[in-house]
Amino acid sequence: MVFKETFSPLSSDEIIAKEKANMDDNRFEHCVRVSETARKLAKLNNYDEDKAALAGFVHDYAKQVPVEEYRQVIKDEGFDPDLLNWNRAIWHGIVGTYFIKRDLKITDPEILQAVWRHTTADVEMTTLDKIVFMADYIEPGRSFDGVEEARKITFKNLDEGVGYQLAHTLEFLIENRNKVYPRTLQAYNVWSIKK
Ligand code: GDP
Ligand code: FE
Ligand code: FE
Ligand code: FE
C-alpha cells in the first residue's frame, strides 16, 4: 500500500508504520479495507482517489488511544467540554484529529474534517466526508444484518448510503437504549427522512 501524496512531511511508509504501532492488527486491517473501499467510492464519485484512500486509512488512527489521554487532550486543547460526557466511540473521530495532526503531521482540513465526522456524520457533508463515513460502514470485513443492502445502495448513490447508515445506526442505538450524540440526530434529520 502506497499513498502517492501523503499530505504530510512524512512518507507513506512512515505513516503506515505509525498507524500500525498505534493499534492492534484487527483495527489496522480494518483501516486498510476502509482505505481500499474509500478509493473505490472516490472513483465512482469523481473524487481524488489518493486523498480518499489516505483519509480512509487514518480515520481510526486514534481509536485505541487510552481514555485518560483523551480526557487530558479534551481539557488542554480547547475541545468542547461536553465531550467529557461521552466516550471513545465519539472521541476517536472528533478528538482523533488532534492525534492525527500531532503524530502523522496531516494538516489538510478536508481530510481532518472527514475523520472528525466519520462516526457521527453531520448536517453538512462534503463528498470526502461521505466517502469515509460510508467506506467505514461497508468495507468488506463488515458483516451486520443489512450490510449487503447498504453496499448496493451506497455504490449506486452515496447520499442514499449516508441516509441508510444514519437510520440504521439510530435504530441500533435506540434498540440498545444508548445515548444519541446530538449531531448524529441532527444528521439523521437531514439525510434519512423520506422526501
Ligand atoms: P469504527 O470506529 O470503525 O468501529 O466505527 P465508527 O467510528 O463508525 O463507530 C463507532 C461506534 O460509535 C459504533 O458502535 C456506533 O454505533 C457508535 N455511535 C455512532 N453514533 C453514535 C451516537 O450518537 N451515540 C453513541 N453512543 N454511539 C454512537
Ligand atoms: Fe471509527
Ligand atoms: Fe462509521
Ligand atoms: Fe472505522
Cell of 89: 466511540
Query: What interhelical angle do 158-175 and 182-191 show, nearest 10?
Result: 130
Residue 19 near residue 58 (C-beta atoms within 8 A): yes
**Is the CB–ligand 1 distance for residue 120 below 6 Å?**
yes
**Is the CB–ligand 1 distance for residue 37 below 6 Å?**
no
Per-residue pLDDT, averaged over 150-168, amounts to 98
The domain segmentation of the chain, as residue ranges, is 12-145
Taken as a whole, the chain contains a residue count of 195
d(CA 99, CA 94): 10
1 band by pLDDT with thresholds 50, 70 and 90: confident
**Is the CB–ligand 1 distance for residue 87 below 6 Å?**
no
d(CA 158, CA 191): 11
**Is the CB–ligand 1 distance for residue 60 below 6 Å?**
yes
Residue 61's contacts (CB-CB under 8 Å, 6 or more residues apart) are 19, 22, 23, 31, 96, 99, 100, 103, 104, 115
Residue 111 near residue 128 (C-beta atoms within 8 A): yes
**pLDDT tens readout for residues 43-94:** 999 999 999 999 999 999 999 999 999 999 999 999 999 999 999 999 999 9
195 band by pLDDT with thresholds 50, 70 and 90: confident
pLDDT attached to residue 3: 82
How far, in Å, from the CA of 89 to the mean position of ligand 1? Answer: 5
pLDDT attached to residue 110: 98
d(CA 43, CA 188): 26
- Here the ipTM equals 0.93
**Is the CB–ligand 1 distance for residue 170 below 6 Å?**
no
How far, in Å, from the CA of 30 to the mean position of ligand 1? Answer: 15
Q: Residue 185: phi, psi to the nearest 5?
A: -65, -45
**pLDDT tens readout for residues 11-31:** 999 999 999 999 999 999 999
How far, in Å, from the CA of 71 to the mean position of ligand 3? Answer: 22
Binning the chain into helix, strand and coil, the percentages to the nearest 5 are 65, 0, 35
CATH classification number, 12-145, choose in 1.10.760.10, 3.30.450.40, 1.10.3210.10, 3.40.50.2020: 1.10.3210.10
